[in-house]
Structure 1
Amino acid sequence: MKKLLVITLVVIMIGSLLVGCTKTSTTQTPQKEEVKKIGLVISTLNNPFFVTLKDGAEAKAQELGYELVVLDSQNDPAKEMSNVEDLITKNVAVILINPTDSDAVGNAVKAANAKSIPVITLDRGANSGEVVAHIASDNVAGGKMAGEYIIAQLGGNGKVVELEGIAGTSAARDRGQGFNEAINGSSIEVVAKQTADFDRTKGLSVMENILQAQPEIDAIFAHNDEMALGALQAIKASGRSIMVVGFDATDDAVKAVEDGEMSATVAQQPEKIGSLGVENAVKVISGEAIESSIPVDLQLVIK
């Protein structure tokens, strides 16, 4: 009887030990850390410049081990707002935004502010709401660079057309400001100034109308390469010889410069803008302080 009692007690003790081991191993299993999400709202993916910006951001996110959620606003401020709201529901840690319009984007930025989600603007700034940083080329300096080049090529005297980007964007405002500051005081006359919304097709149609209205044009400064390439198409069709200077150094524009069809383009680094956006978003997530304004270098591309 005693022998049976001892065996029973031993079995109970072993069972208790096994249960204890099982509980301990369960509580000590490490939980897989959730990958932080970064949101990227692009003004439009119908423009090679912004596609390259996106590619740079995606490459850096992959390198640093972060998930990047990319949404296209299709140049529509209402869609942009919807995209930001979507990212808020997805619990992203930081929102990178390339605004469709520097004024209209304010409400989207404020929506993120209300949820304490940090916002970093890329290429174009926001005129309201709080952003932790703005990463962009110095568009005023780029506009001056284009203006000074045109002055030098024309010997300080000539008639010029300015094709403007989307009204209300910081890029259009700053590039125009720099260009006009550069030509101020010279004998360069701006005979036409019209918006073509950073779009190649609009650049073509706007330039066709200007060519009909202006019998004498020596040069064109377009706020981006898409408009410059559209204008170039109109010039070719007209048979006239007019110098064209663009902005962005997209692949098509650089080829046009190499082929001698465009005279020059101001080179931005959209891939670097996207890469720096993610890099600084990760710093914000890690609690590091970042600069409020992060410039990206420019250069003039000529043949």
Structure 2
Amino acid sequence: MRTRTVFAAVLAAAATVTLSACGQEQTTAGPATATGGKPTVCLIMKSLANEYFQQMQTGAKAHVDQLGTLSLQAAGIQNETDVDGQIALVDKCITQGVQAIVIAPADSKALVQSVVKADKAGIKVVNIDVALDPDALKAAGVEVPLVGPDNRAGAKQVGDVLAKAVGPAGKVVILEGNPGADNALQRKNGFNDTIAESKLNLLDSKTAHWETDEAYTVFGNMLTAHPDIQGVMASNDSMALGAIKVIQERKAAVKVVTIDNIPAVKPYLQSGPVLATLDQFGSEQAGDGIDVAMKLIGGQSVTGWQKTRMTVVTAGS
């Protein structure tokens, strides 16, 4: 799934693509300093092996092409837990002297010091997708606007679809995201809101760190321990794909709800076992984050949480 696509440069004479041990980077401009008077924005995502962030990168590039007012450098890490790699990418953007960084942090606390470092260097920072830890930011005296969806509310929305299908006392499990990421916590909370409200029976809840292969193992063990599982609440589509593989291999009657609406999960909405996924419009999030970054560069004040749209996707929608 690790695909590195070289985009044609629109905002500069040539594009450069580099791959380092700490992350995958794709640049749609030349030098990181402002090109032709245009500011440079770094977009730092999580794993580009995840189709969600591939879509985010594509959407960001298209948005920047349409604006024509900035140069974009887009980078992602090798896997969802490569926190050190993401820190290195932030450091690189700081060293290059970019005007803004838009970041979807792999870990909500571990990236705070990198954000503080960027702020002290005079670089504007916008947080997208996964919220940075607000208490850590406050303790550091740094305010960073958040552009992203309400993960807890979204998880409850797809959780409610599963609850309706399995009924009260339905036996379910949760595949959690990376424990250090705020969106993983909020999605788990949203699923638990459904469980409490609909009186479902939670048999197990474990992390698979957003990864398909790990989810295959984790859910396989869950199903061995609890062969009567009726439903899976997966915190992202990548983990749902791992669970689906187990379900198909064992011919288990288990329903799945999930989050991200990546292309790979769509066939399973039509044929099963996926009942619903949540589209959080990652490509739009990146564009919205870049717009906020440009406002900050221009001297405008943007604070707080700028909520982005989301919608439940089912076979009939």
Offset at residue 267 of structure 1 (A): 1.5
1:69 to 2:69 alignment = no
Distance across 2 between alignment mates of 1:249 and 1:165: 16
Secondary structure in 1 matching 2:218: helix
Tell me the CA shift for residue 215 of structure 1: 1.9
CA deviations on 1:121-174 (whole Å, 9 max, x unpaired) are 110011133343111111010111122222211222210010000011011100
The answer on 1:210 being equivalent to 2:213 is no
Q: How many residues align?
A: 272
The SS at the match of 1:102 is coil
Map of 1:2-151 to 2, 5 A cutoff?
33-65=36-68, 66-74=70-78, 75=80, 76-127=82-133, 128-129=136-137, 130-151=142-163
Shift of 1:51: 1.0
Segments of 4+ moved more than 3 angstroms: none
Task: Give the structure 2 partner of residue 240 of structure 1.
Answer: 252
Partner of 2:281: 269
Q: Work out the CA distance in 2 between the residues paired with 1:64 and 1:71.
A: 20
Cα contact 1:224–1:247 (8 A) shared by 2? yes
Task: Report % sequence identity.
Answer: 29
Question: Are 1:225 and 1:249, in contact at CA under 8 Å, matched by a contact in 2?
Answer: yes
Alignment correspondent of 1:231? 243
Q: Distance in 2 between matches of 1:244 and 1:86?
A: 40
- TM-align CA RMSD: 1.5
Deviation string, structure 1 residues 228-276 (Cα, Å, up to 9, x no partner)? 1110001111111100111111111122102233111112101110111
Q: Greater Rg, structure 1 or structure 2?
A: 1
Matched, 1:182 2:188: no
Q: Which residue does 2:165 correspond to in 1?
A: 153
* Structure 1: runs of 5+ lacking an equivalent: 1-31
Q: 5+ residue gaps in structure 2? A: 1-34
Query: How far, CA to CA, are the matches of 1:260 and 1:234 in structure 2?
Result: 13
Conserved 8 A contact 1:162-1:220: yes
Opposite residue 65 of structure 2, the aligned amino acid is Q
AA matched with 1:114:
K
State the TM-score, normalized to the length of structure 2.
Answer: 0.82
Q: Which residue of structure 1 aligns with residue 204 of structure 2?
A: 192
| Cα deviation 1:77-112 (Å, max 9, x = unaligned) | 111111111101111111001101101111111111
TM-score (ref. length: structure 1): 0.86
Separation in 2, partners of 1:289, 1:56: 25
Kept in 2, the 8 Å contact 1:254–1:301? The answer is no
